[in-house]
Structure 1
C-alpha cells in the first residue's frame, strides 16, 4: 500500500538559514507573485549565474522552493507549506512574549494601584 502522507516539513534551522540572506529573501518575495524561471529570478541580481544557483540550492534544500525543468528552462515556485512552518514558529514565539508582557503589565498596574491607595 503506498504511503500518501505528505513528507515531513524540513527543520526550521534550514528555513531560517535560507531566510538569513537578503538575496534569498528577495527570491522568496518574488516567488510569492507566482512561478518564475531561473533567468527571471537571477535578472535583478548583479552576480554570476553559478553564484545565484547556489542561492537557489539553499532555498530548495530548505524545502521552501521547488523547481521543474522542461527542456532547457528551469522554473521555480514557492512551497508555501514549508514557509508557513517558519511563520507558525514565529507566531508561537510572539504569543508567548505577548502573554508575558501582558502579565508584566498587569503586575505593574497592580503595584501602581497599591502605591496610590
Structure 2
C-alpha cells in the first residue's frame, strides 16, 4: 500500500467515534478483544471485530494471539506520520508566535 493510500485508510479509520474510542482504550494499555467487547455494551462482538479489522487495516492496531486470547496493541506510527505531514507544519508558526509573545511579555 502506498503512503497516500495508507494515510487515507488512517483518516477513514479515525472518522468513526467507536474506533476512536477503541484507540483511546488501547492508549492506556493493550486489551483483549473480549475486554474491548465488554466495554461496548450496546454493540455486539461482530461489530467490535469489524471495527478492529478496519483499525488493523489502517495499521493503527496490531493484534497478537496468545492461545485463544487475542491481544490488541495501539500502533502510533501511522498517527505520527499524519502529524509529520499535516499538523506539524501548521503548528510550528503557532509555537513560534507563542514563544515571541512570551519573550515580549517578559
TM-score (norm 2): 0.75
Structure 2, unpaired ranges of 5+: 98-106
Deviation at 1:93, TM superposition (A): 5.3
1:20 maps to which residue? 15
Q: Which has the larger radius of gyration?
A: 1
Deviation at 1:88, TM superposition (A): 2.1
Does residue 1:11 correspond to 2:6, yes or no? yes
Structure 1, unpaired ranges of 5+: 1-7, 103-117
1:79 maps to which residue? 75
Tell me which of 47, 71, 91 is aligned to 1:51: 47
Cα 1:87–1:42 change in 2 (3 A) is farther
Deviation at 1:82, TM superposition (A): 1.6
Task: State which drifts further: 85-94 or 39-48.
Answer: 85-94
Counterpart secondary structure, 1:54? helix
Does residue 1:62 correspond to 2:63, yes or no? no
1:112 maps to which residue? none
Q: Figure out how many residues of one structure are paired with residues of the other and give that number.
A: 92
